[in-house]
Amino acid sequence: MSPRIVWAESLPTVVVGDFNSNQIWDSARPSKNHSAVVQLLQNAGMVSAYHTWHGVAHGEEYTSTFHMNRQWGRGFHIDYCFLPIPWMEHVKRVSIGSYLMWKRFSDHRPLSVTIDSKVLA
């Protein structure tokens, strides 16, 4: 039997944060990797807002959310927001903050997901 997230299957759940992972590093951890986490969340009925909104596969992101040592050339997408699949039709915008604006505050850029408030009613 594959692992399950029972509470996420029965209640509307949002999982958001710095996962410190990306599919590009899956081969370093063949059994416990980013793709396994994505599959676990998909099995619970959730998808990545960024990937779904922008129509991009995991590991093929064109926008970084983290810049190692705040260097532009060392960027990776490691921050995620997983939403219940039905909520995606209520998403109005998914964006990542400007590197130039945020680099003085953090090595991460904020991932913002705007959802129509009707989804919470």
**pLDDT tens-digit map of 33-82:** 999 999 999 999 999 999 999 999 999 999 999 999 998 999 999 999 99
Instruction: Supply the mean pLDDT for the chain.
Output: 90
Does 54 reside within a domain? Answer: yes
Which carries the bigger pLDDT value, residue 119 or residue 67?
67
Does 1 reside within a domain? Answer: no
Domains of the chain: total: 1
Does 42 reside within a domain? Answer: yes
Does 51 reside within a domain? Answer: yes
Does 100 reside within a domain? Answer: yes
HEC per residue, 12-74: CCCEEEECCCCHHHHHHCCCCCHHHHHHHHHHCCEEEHHHHHHCCCCCCCCCCCEEHHHCHHH
Domain that holds residue 91: 6-120
Does 62 reside within a domain? Answer: yes
The domain that holds 114 is classified in CATH as: 3.60.10.10
